[in-house]
Structure 1
């Protein structure tokens, strides 16, 4: 399973309505964090689970199911976590 597929699978627990994941690893080739094989990703996720949650809480909800992938398979993850109304 690719890392992008694994990220999508692990985030299914958030019952997202939309998930866009961009692998930006190629732009960071030669970067110190990339030396270990960890990729750079940009994530936009839309879920009702974020309603009433502050940004930090939303990010924690995303990081929790991915925790064991950081920092080895995921070096950097930019998160945009939105409610359906915000999207």
Structure 2
């Protein structure tokens, strides 16, 4: 199973009404076909009443194996159904990779 498929499978534990896992590795300085950089958009009632840090902690707990190994970066966009329905803008785009440059 690919890393992306594993992430999708594990995140289903949160009973999402929306789940999009995007492999953004191609936007970074990594070998072709890498699975190291991901963006997750997840909408779940389980986030109701939770501050963003607690939402992130739930994801980190579910994906502990991936984050301690192959996954280098994980952008999280986590919403309750009400937040998702009432948002005024789409989730943010990921920034372009600086390719390790410090300029």
- Give 1 or 2: higher helix fraction: 1
Q: TM-score under structure 1 normalisation? A: 0.86
Q: TM-score under structure 2 normalisation? A: 0.74
Unaligned runs of 5+ in 1: none
- Give 1 or 2: higher strand fraction: 1
| Greater length-normalized contact order (CA 8 Å, ≥ 6 residues apart) | 1
Q: 1:46 aligns with which of 22, 43, 51?
A: 43
Aligned twin of 1:55: 52
Aligned pairs for 1:18-33 (under 5 A) are: 18-30=18-30
Unaligned runs of 5+ in 2: 85-103
1:70 is displaced (CA, Å) by 1.2
1:27 is displaced (CA, Å) by 1.2
CA RMSD of aligned residues (A): 1.5
